[in-house]
Structure 1
Amino acid sequence: MAPMGPKKGSARNTQSNTGKTSSRGGISKRRGAGPLRVDRDGDLNMDVSTTSASRSDSKRLKNNSTPSGTVTRTSSRNPRPTAKAQQIIQRVINGDTSQISSRRVGRRADTEPLVALKVEGLKASKAASNQGGGVKELLTFIERKAKSTGQITRPIKIRKSQRSGDFVYITASKEDAQEILKVNGFTFAGASLHIIEAPEGFPNRDSTPLSSTALEIKEQLRSVLSTRYDVNTKLLNLSSLGEDPQLNQMGFFRGESSPEKMFRALMAVCDGLFKTPQAKRDAIVSISLAGNNVNDVLQVMSLTETFPDVVNLDLSRNQFGDLKALQKWRHRLRNLQTLLLNENPIEVANPNYKAEMVTWFPKLLNLSGTQVRTPEQIAAAEAAARPTPIPQSGPDFRDINRIGEGFITEFLALYDTDRHNLAAKYYDEHSTFSIAVNTHSPHAPDVPVPTWGAYIRFSRNHMKINHSSPRQQRLLTGLNQIQHVWRQLPPTQHPNLTTQLDKYLVDCHPIHGLADPAGRNPLGVDGMIITIHGEFDDQEPGTAKTAKRSFSRTFVLGPGAPDRNPIRVVSDLLSVKAFKHLPTQTTINDQQKQQMLSELSRLTGMTPEFSRLCLEGANWHFNQALASFHEKKAQIPPEAFTTV
């Protein structure tokens, strides 16, 4: 089998046997014959000379008109549209408006080499139900995220787009394509995007039924594949295709470009045999391309499109001479475990190629018969790459005279039953309130994801609100604004804080330097910051539908103004998200408690009894207990310490 693609010095760029320079194939552009002529129906006018003569005669008759000004016309037809107009009209008739781009691109952009990319994820997104299938929203999202992720000032432009099945194909300049590829893995409308290069370009949108010849070829290729598939080992054996008698009889190896086209055809037939990606993974585990004289993976790139999850791949006895010939597969085949490159020139030209190849394929275990990783190493690398939650050490509640406890207990009860008087008691003309909606947070699988219509119009989520003006407008300042918005938020029901404390995490810390509402302390006054994480049920306005949500709320409390409530809310920040259970607390056994008792007694000099009281007050969190000791050391009675 000849190399599947052009090589340097190949006949594609030289003269053929007939002495004429070969073109790239297809229908070449006519030169020197003038523009194409079309009639009113958009059909080609094959009698160009007659048309030209008719126009010359018409012009001559106009110059030699009668004294009365009448002109003898040779045709009563309306002016014909240009060939460009006919192309646009035909696209509209066929329903293909993707290439009639609304994005204005200059002449220079039209001549730039464009890179084709393939985007997967739109079909699974919430935007798929939008008018137009969500394509417009997807393109806008990709352009915006590519610009912000790359931190560049110039705009990112998608030149053309086309939806085909589960994918959206797009083109962009080489520079813009590099930035767009960085959006791979981003979440769009609830679905993860998968963006890769599409060297094969846009798929053919021609819906014309296959001819009898094409159907015959398709059936012959299916026959070839059936003889080369082992159902027991799940191996698709495509080795030595150049020696296959059926493929030779079909004439695929008579021209230089035929083998590459034949391979793409084989992959297209394979793609049509499976309805889902999972069906491919279940049926095809191993593929062999050994002995095909391939010298660049570009010649068999369609394999990674059709079988991106193949586990074992045999490329032995080919012509791969260096890493560059394999580089296009660097970010593909992420599940590949075995790769054979035996009897390729790269083994001699670059004996150290294995070290580089290991970094390309994260799950590779066996490379050309050599074990390069163990399954345990892969598992450890995957575990290290996964994001791990911040260890939850439990609440740290450092209250002062039980002020924080009294406030938060009263607040939750009144927020559910009497928001108007709650705001009047604790908020004044300088208090601020804002709400942020997080629609993409992890959620409990056993609880339906709620809608956000009642909250989203007030949301000040800085990940979504990028401009300073709307950010400022959604920061509510003063009692009247806060009461006005609270009336529009859905009614809620929080669990009872005193009887269901396990449904909350509450932190409380003293802070200093708050503005003195009385104006007597220029250096500020003391206050506290309270953060509470929990849940509530709310009711959708106008319906009886309820939803469970998680929330986090952070209060900054300070002294009230003269003749007002002694405590005021300086700042109130509410964040709401889909419900998720709070993390469970780590159980500490008796041995661990005894170790902490001994260590705390050693560091503080306290007796074991007082050390136990300190640890119990901090829920057996050692660092919190030690911090609490240093804060209150002056208040601890002398009998709490051991005598020397």
Structure 2
Amino acid sequence: MAPPTGPRKGSAPSGARNPRNSATNGGKATTRSGVAKRRGAGAVRTDRDGDLDMDGPTGTNGSSRGGRRGNNHSAQSGQASRPPPRSAATSSRGPRPTAKAQQIIQRALNGGPGGMSSRITSARDRRAPATMTLVVEGLMSSKAASNEGGGLKELLTFLERKAQTVGQTARHIRIKKSHIKGDFVYITSTKEDAEEILKVNGFAFAGTTLRISQSADTTPVGGSDALSSTLSSNALEIKQHLRGVLSMRYDVNAKLLNLSALGEDPALAQRGFFNGESTPEKLFRTLMAICEQLFKTPQAKRDAVVSISLSGNNVDDVLQIMSLTDTFPDLVNLDLSQNQFKDIKGLQKWRHRLRNCQTLLLNDNPIEVMDPSYKEELTSWFPKLLNLSGVQVRTAEQVAAEEAATRPTPIPQSGADFRDINGVGENFITEFIQMYDAGRNSLAAKYYDDQSTFSIAVNSRSPHAPDLHPPTWGAYIKFSRNHTKITHTSARQQRLFTGTHLIQGVWQQLPPTRHPDLPTQLDKYIIDCHPVHGLADPTGQNPIGVDGIIITIHGEFEDQEPDTMKTAKRSFSRTFVLGPGVPGRNPIRVISDLLSLKVYNLLPASVSAPASQPSEEVQKQQMIIELCKQTSMNAEYSRLCLDVANWNFDQALVTFNEKRAQLPAEAFATAP
């Protein structure tokens, strides 16, 4: 640390007292004010406001080192030594303010509207850009809701990115604050950014459609309690006022919401909704947000509001009233007359919306003169539109015919098709169902080997009876390989279990089951069995593959939910691919086993009832006729071929192709 410096030339150090000056004062040192400070054994020195003076001399003779240097220098220069006035510049610490001065400073910092604190806050508020709070609906029903943090981070990133893209703005869109409240996400950003985020309304996010509107409650997220309560009360008052406006404009008998000429409404004008920064677009979004709160469900909206009039609102683009289609997507009648639509582009955003609209009025709009062909275009946009600007463009019969043409034709159901090979399929199914309920480890050891695969897929949203409460899926969902849910290749591979030991391990973790008895309750099953060719030969001797069968069984079973310990009934479908076993083991092995589970539902009555089977001789005659058609052999040789193949039609075709070159010409001649 640098040594202390001495006083200026010709002056004593601040606070020093010359012994000669002390003598002239009667041998007693004096100060400018306060209690005298002892020197050596004398009085204690204080500063102006009574504190101890830390800058006074510290020597026993009453002078400091600097003072001595000052006296010597003064003696050399021949000038009289006189102590200069104390100043902040010549002391290591400036004088402290008095108590009164501290009170004045404190009031200036904190007190009153004119204080420094309020002035700083006001200046900061003037510099800060105006903010807007938006409410976003759809996160809870999206796939992202199961992510860590509820998917909020993914949603905010999506909104910022899409808003910048849709708005084609060079600046970065930024959401300042956000929080989840119930089924809604409240976000706060600058007004400029919020206007761009509103354009993302209706976009698809993680399997759901987002609905974005301006929040009726203008309380900023994270505001102070006093400010929040003030803004909440103001927002509540505005909300109640707008509810009153809606009630006056709603005709309950006609189910009509009349929102025409909002700018001429005296109740809205008196409240100042069209003054300052408020715009008709913001007012309309707020009205739609209130309607969302009034009608909680889509059915409530359909029952309450059938028609809406927006005539005379100076609208030139449906983007300004986009929230209408979000709040009332099933609207039947809409009046847009006496607005400013000039061309079809002003209506482009509604091309895939309002699919149930039957009446659309665009009278007294510039589009009638500037784009007379707009009617054909709009008719193709709205499939149920009957009346466009007072002109009938379709009939109800035409709408019904067009709807019927778009519905897919159902696949005809002809009942179960069971084509077994030497009873292999029947024996396997009968034994499998019994052993799966009673001894799964033994079942896996008998029919599965190191190359066998097993997978399970859960469909928790399958159709079912309305009065049926769906069971829980916790015991199955962790193994589910449903490809609509599991989309990553690594996850799909991990949930495909290969080999006897892995399959046994999975089966042990699945709840115990009880299937209906197959021989006595065959009506509770639908079973298909078909031959299949080209399966891999486990011995490696046949390069073109070996024959097997594929079995699909639909049915039901009961199990016990691990969480609730209640008995649950589920529907299932199970598909097996069976082939020859490895030498030295069971002659039949399971190559592939796919189990699909869904909510219990009755089997179709038309296919579940056992159909009357034709007699054995009739079946043989049908097979002879079919073989004649496919091989051109006569009936005699066709019967002989089927008899050699033990009346297995597919095997008879294989035998014919192998022996065709050896057959005599008479095999293809018509029998007399």
Question: Identical aligned pairs, as a percentage?
Answer: 61
Q: How much does 1:176 deviate?
A: 11
Alignment CA distance shift 1:266-1:141 (3 Å): closer
SS in 1 for 2:547: strand
1:443 is matched with which residue: 461, 464, 473? 464
SS in 2 for 1:411: helix
SS in 2 for 1:508: strand
Deviations 1:169-221 (A, max 9, x none): 6799999999996636x76xxxxx3335x4x5566451535799877776665
Instruction: Give, in whole Å, the separation in 1 of the partners of 2:516 and 2:409.
Output: 29
TM-score normalised per structure 1: 0.63
- Larger Rg, first or second structure (1 or 2): 2
Instruction: Give, in whole Å, the separation in 2 of the partners of 1:236 and 1:344.
Output: 21
Contact 1:437 1:460 in 2 (8 A): yes
Q: How does 1:583-602 map to 2 (within 5 A)?
A: 583-585=604-606
Residue of structure 2 in register with 1:332 after alignment: 353
SS in 2 for 1:326: helix
Q: How does 1:174-323 map to 2 (within 5 A)?
A: 183=204, 193-196=208-211, 198=212, 200-201=213-214, 204-206=217-219, 208=229, 224-244=245-265, 246-247=267-268, 259-260=280-281, 263-264=284-285, 266-267=287-288, 273-323=294-344
Instruction: Give, in whole Å, the separation in 1 of the partners of 2:577 and 2:611.
Output: 36
Q: How much does 1:493 deviate?
A: 1.0
Residue of structure 1 in register with 2:399 after alignment: 378
Residue of structure 2 in register with 1:415 after alignment: 436
Instruction: Give, in whole Å, the separation in 2 of the partners of 1:512 and 1:365.
Output: 56
Range with bigger deviation, 454-463 or 159-168? 159-168
SS in 2 for 1:585: helix
Instruction: Give, in whole Å, the separation in 2 of the partners of 1:252 and 1:289.
Output: 17
Alignment CA distance shift 1:247-1:642 (3 Å): same
Instruction: Give, in whole Å, the separation in 2 of the partners of 1:428 and 1:296.
Output: 67
1:342 aligns with 2:363: yes
Residue of structure 1 in register with 2:495 after alignment: 474
Q: How does 1:357-436 map to 2 (within 5 A)?
A: 357-383=378-404, 385=406, 390-436=411-457
Instruction: Give, in whole Å, the separation in 2 of the partners of 1:554 and 1:158.
Output: 52
Q: How much does 1:138 deviate?
A: 8.1
Residue of structure 1 in register with 2:521 after alignment: 500
Residue of structure 1 in register with 2:551 after alignment: 530
Q: How does 1:536-575 map to 2 (within 5 A)?
A: 536-541=557-562, 544-575=565-596
RMSD after superposition: 5.2
Instruction: Give, in whole Å, the separation in 2 of the partners of 1:203 and 1:395.
Output: 59
Contact 2:341 2:365 in 1 (8 A): yes
2:372 is matched with which residue: 329, 348, 351? 351
Alignment CA distance shift 1:351-1:269 (3 Å): same
Contact 2:139 2:155 in 1 (8 A): no
Deviations 1:293-313 (A, max 9, x none): 333334444444544433211
Deviations 1:320-343 (A, max 9, x none): 111222233334333322110112
Contact 1:366 1:373 in 2 (8 A): yes
Number of aligned positions between the proteins: 506
1:120 is matched with which residue: 138, 162, 167? 138
Q: How much does 1:495 deviate?
A: 1.4
Alignment CA distance shift 1:181-1:519 (3 Å): same
Alignment CA distance shift 1:141-1:381 (3 Å): farther
1:554 alignment partner AA = T
TM-score normalised per structure 2: 0.61
SS in 1 for 2:605: coil
Contact 2:515 2:556 in 1 (8 A): yes
Residue of structure 1 in register with 2:598 after alignment: 577
Alignment CA distance shift 1:258-1:432 (3 Å): closer
Contact 2:216 2:235 in 1 (8 A): no
Instruction: Give, in whole Å, the separation in 1 of the partners of 2:456 and 2:240.
Output: 62
Residue of structure 1 in register with 2:505 after alignment: 484
Alignment CA distance shift 1:631-1:458 (3 Å): same
Q: How much does 1:346 deviate?
A: 0.2
Alignment CA distance shift 1:224-1:168 (3 Å): closer
Alignment CA distance shift 1:215-1:69 (3 Å): closer
Gaps of 5+ in 2: 1-87, 110-116, 126-130, 163-172, 220-227, 613-618, 630-634, 636-646, 657-665
Deviations 1:352-394 (A, max 9, x none): 1112222333332211112223333434444555566644333
Range with bigger deviation, 446-455 or 236-245? 236-245
Range with bigger deviation, 419-428 or 300-309? 300-309
Q: How much does 1:537 deviate?
A: 1.0
1:321 alignment partner AA = K
Instruction: Give, in whole Å, the separation in 2 of the partners of 1:305 and 1:365.
Output: 22
2:259 alignment partner AA = L
Instruction: Give, in whole Å, the separation in 2 of the partners of 1:233 and 1:393.
Output: 50
Contact 1:117 1:195 in 2 (8 A): no
Contact 2:258 2:308 in 1 (8 A): yes
Instruction: Give, in whole Å, the separation in 2 of the partners of 1:538 and 1:589.
Output: 30
SS in 2 for 1:395: coil
Q: How much does 1:439 deviate?
A: 2.6
Range with bigger deviation, 317-326 or 354-363? 354-363
Deviations 1:485-504 (A, max 9, x none): 22222111111222222222
SS in 1 for 2:606: coil
SS in 1 for 2:548: strand
Instruction: Give, in whole Å, the separation in 1 of the partners of 2:652 and 2:196.
Output: 61
Question: Which of 1 and 2 has higher RCO (CA within 8 Å, sep 6+)?
Answer: 1
2:346 alignment partner AA = A
